[in-house]
Amino acid sequence: MANKSNGKKMSATKKILYSMLIGLVVGLILHYTIPDGIVKQKVLIDGVFYILGQGFVRLLQMLVVPLVFFSITTGVMQMKDVSQFGRVAVRTLILYLITTAVGVIFAFFMSYLFKQGIGMSLSGVSKPEINSDQAPSFIETIVNIIPKNPIGSLADGEMLQIIFWAFLTGIVCGKFTGDLKPIVDIIESGNSFMMKVTGLIMKIAPIGVFALIARIFTDVGLGIVGPLLKFLGAVLTAMVLLILVIYLPLIMLSSKAGPKQFFKKVLPVYTFAFSSASSNATIPLTLSSCDSLGIPREISSFTIPLGATINMNGTAIYQGRAVIFIANAFGIHLTMANLVTVVLTAVLSSIGTAGVPGSGMIMLSMVLTSVGLPVEGVSLIMSVERIVDMFRTALNVTGDVVATFISANQENLLDKERYLSDEVASMEGLEI
């Protein structure tokens, strides 16, 4: 299946990219040509674009819980070498934590170059609707991984609990395949059912992506970016730095094919994560991109949902940058010990950050509180929140794929032929 209609697969990627660009252009034209009023707000922003964009995101969200459950369970059940899997999982986890910490440090560095938020006026700043109680403590997050009620976890979409339960189910079913044959059959059929439903829904991805992007730019235009250029500039350059200094060398060391091959295959995932601002909603497509990279499902079905939940490279950069920006805006000096605390808290908070829009901002309150900064400072950067969220989500998801790719490669688990093929992230092999 891997080489089936390559031309068509390429055009699927292009379609998503084009729809993003068209969404941007259409959004900007509408923003600047249609006067504020009912047509712009109710018919376009909260009407057509909302229905198409949010409808698509919800369709994907609808897939996430059963897809994650069935694909982890099937993967673990079929696992031939448990210790090898353990090594890949641990390596991926370590890479997740290290890249997140490095992201914060890069954000500090870029904040320094961009001369922070000095001189910002704090007058007229409205208090954000945010409160640090929303952020769970680290210990609580760890204990919470064990579900009290697995059915409840599935119903509530508690990702870490679902991963835990799916893993356990996979181990038991793999060990007692004979005794548990009816359950094993249901799980295997459930898995192929979910792949087929995912394939069907992904066919409308270009429309969803167009509507998501067009909605944002019809609403905000480019005007909001100006006053916060320094904030955005430091965030974006720190992201580029992470890609150039960490991701690229790691990918180049792992693959002789070079980074171009890798990024070509990750591009559709990047664009969709960008449009939806949700790592969770992107999981179906991220798994598909891992397939095209030659990563076995046994690995990706575990590391990708885990990464979508705990690996937040982009969010960490945003938090590091926000801390410096807010401290300077309030004229508060941060010591070296404070900065170390911020790195640690940002790493821990990324574990508790759900892969949904805006959660990084909620967790930012925990990071600010850890060094005694005022939580109200978040209001200074709120106007660009959605735009920053799009960039950080794209990086969050890319980071998941990079770490998974590197770890799988180190164990010689990559299907090199598939990696070198022209296949890109699409619903290859999932068509019904």
* CB 272, CB 12: distance < 8 Å: no
Q: Give the pair of three-digit tokens for residue 358.
A: 């805006």
CB of 73 or CB of 370, closer to ligand ASP:
370
* CB 87, CB 299: distance < 8 Å: no
Applying CB under 6 A, the span of 83-91, 114-122, 126-134, 389-397 interacting with ligand ASP comes to: 389-397
Q: Which residue is nearest to ligand ASP (CB)?
A: 360
- Does the protein bind ligand ASP through residue 309 (CB under 6 A)? no
Q: What character string, x for contact with ligand ASP (CB under 6 A) and - otherwise, covers 400-429? A: ------------------------------
- Does the protein bind ligand ASP through residue 392 (CB under 6 A)? yes
Applying CB under 6 A, the span of 53-61, 184-192, 357-365, 415-423 interacting with ligand ASP comes to: 357-365
Please report the sign of the dihedral spanned by the C-alpha atoms of residue 166, residue 168, residue 171, residue 175: negative
Q: How many CB atoms lie within 10 A of CB 193?
A: 14
Applying CB under 6 A, the span of 53-61, 64-72, 160-168, 275-283 interacting with ligand ASP comes to: 275-283
Q: H or E element: which one contains 308?
A: helix 297-310
Least separation in angstroms between residue 230's CB and ligand ASP is 20
Out of 278, 349, 404, 421, name the contact with ligand ASP by CB under 6 A. 278
**Cβ neighbours of residue 153 under 8 Å, at least 6 residues apart?**
147, 161, 162, 165
If you count them, how many residues does the chain have? Answer: 432
- Does the protein bind ligand ASP through residue 355 (CB under 6 A)? yes
CB of 130 or CB of 277, closer to ligand ASP:
277
- Does the protein bind ligand ASP through residue 321 (CB under 6 A)? no
- Does the protein bind ligand ASP through residue 359 (CB under 6 A)? yes
* CB 2, CB 423: distance < 8 Å: yes
What is the CA 385 to chain-centroid distance, rounded?
A: 15
CB of 315 or CB of 365, closer to ligand ASP:
315
CB of 12 or CB of 308, closer to ligand ASP:
308
Least separation in angstroms between residue 388's CB and ligand ASP is 8
- Does the protein bind ligand ASP through residue 365 (CB under 6 A)? no
Least separation in angstroms between residue 353's CB and ligand ASP is 5
Q: H or E element: which one contains 262?
A: helix 259-276
Computed on alpha carbons and rounded to an integer, the radius of gyration of the chain in Å comes to 21
- Does the protein bind ligand ASP through residue 279 (CB under 6 A)? yes
CB of 66 or CB of 358, closer to ligand ASP:
358
Give the three-class secondary structure for 123: coil
CB of 85 or CB of 272, closer to ligand ASP:
272
CB of 103 or CB of 296, closer to ligand ASP:
103
- Does the protein bind ligand ASP through residue 398 (CB under 6 A)? no
User: How far is it, in rounded angstroms, from Cα 96 to Cα 5?
Assistant: 34
CB of 389 or CB of 423, closer to ligand ASP:
389
User: How far is it, in rounded angstroms, from Cα 133 to Cα 128?
Assistant: 14
**Terminal Cα distance for the chain, rounded:** 13
Q: Tell me the HSE value of 143 on the side-chain side, using a 13 A CA sphere.
A: 5
- Does the protein bind ligand ASP through residue 147 (CB under 6 A)? no
Q: Give the pair of three-digit tokens for residue 34.
A: 């249609």
CB of 312 or CB of 343, closer to ligand ASP:
312
* CB 344, CB 104: distance < 8 Å: no
Q: Give the pair of three-digit tokens for residue 163.
A: 């991963």
- Does the protein bind ligand ASP through residue 303 (CB under 6 A)? no
Out of 286, 300, 328, 396, name the contact with ligand ASP by CB under 6 A. 396
Give the three-class secondary structure for 218: helix
- Does the protein bind ligand ASP through residue 128 (CB under 6 A)? no
* CB 316, CB 347: distance < 8 Å: yes
CB of 73 or CB of 100, closer to ligand ASP:
100
CB of 174 or CB of 320, closer to ligand ASP:
320
Per-residue HEC secondary structure of 367-431 comes to: HHHHCCCCHHHHHHHHHHHHHHHHHHHHHHHHHHHHHHHHHHHHCCCCCHHHHHCCCCCCCCCCC
Residues forming contacts to ligand ASP in the complex (CB under 6 A) are: 277-279, 312, 315, 353, 355-360, 389, 392-393, 396
